[in-house]
Amino acid sequence: MLDLGVIVANFKFLVVQGLFGLGGFAGGTLRLAIPAIVLGFVLGIFIGLARLARSRFVSLPATLYVEFFRGVPLVMVIFWIWFIIPQLLRLPIPEYGVALTAFVIFEAAYFGEIIRAGIQSVPRGQVEAATAVGLTSAQTMRFVVLPQAIRNMVPALVTQMIVLFKDTSLASIIGYVDLTKAAQIVNNREIKPFELYLFIAVVYFVFTYSMSLFARRFERRLAS
């Protein structure tokens, strides 16, 4: 039988600490996911634009960056950062910093691809028209191309944000106390794996599914 008592008894630790990251010690899925999404997206914009640059000295490194990180598991990238950054900086970095760095670097490759595809989906004639009315190329990008590109990108971007949100569970591997790690900690004491892991599965689902519902509604509003 499902023993829901274990969920109720540890609800505060799982949700307040593990999910939101409020309370005693550093942690929290959302405290990691939100900055990772924002920073990964920002870095992704630069990478996406760099891939489209006319100069090969700019576009080639960006292409290599994207292809490299899309061919490597995220777990591997987390271990890289975990070992390398302390070596380089000669000081210990908390799990939060390691995880955030790994997610931003890794997800920027995926965001970059989405942004590149979005920009390429804007018809060439738009750029020509903008140039013809006298806009500089930076102005064309800012006022003509990006506003249209971002609309086309929204569904893919939201999907990638969902992926990133789920990926933050991997931060638990290096000891960061997110929702997954919190469930592990409780389980070590209570030995109720079925209930606990099913419960956090539902919590993740509520978040990711509402994000995808939002994306679908947004898409429909754009289409009409």
Which residues in this chain contact another protein in the complex, by CB under 8 A?
Answer: 68, 71-76, 79-80, 83-84, 87-88, 162, 166-170, 172-173, 180, 183-184, 187, 193-198, 200-201, 204-205, 208-209, 212
**CB of 168 vs another protein, minimal distance in Å:** 8
**CB of 178 vs another protein, minimal distance in Å:** 10
* Choice between 42 and 163, CB closer to another protein: 163
* Choice between 145 and 179, CB closer to another protein: 179
| Region at 55 (left for phi over 0; alpha for psi -120 to 50; beta for the rest) | beta
With a CB cutoff of 8 Å and minimum separation 6, the contacts of 21 are 27, 28, 29, 30, 31, 32
Q: CA 164, CA 157: separation in Å to the nearest integer?
A: 10
Residue 147 and residue 97 in contact, taking contact as beta carbons nearer than 8 Å:
no
**CA-based nearest residue to 119, from 222, 35, 58, 44:** 44
* Choice between 131 and 187, CB closer to another protein: 187
* Choice between 141 and 170, CB closer to another protein: 170
**CB of 126 vs another protein, minimal distance in Å:** 20
With a CB cutoff of 8 Å and minimum separation 6, the contacts of 222 are 151, 154
Q: CA 175, CA 197: separation in Å to the nearest integer?
A: 17
**CB of 68 vs another protein, minimal distance in Å:** 7
* Choice between 107 and 140, CB closer to another protein: 107
**CB of 37 vs another protein, minimal distance in Å:** 15
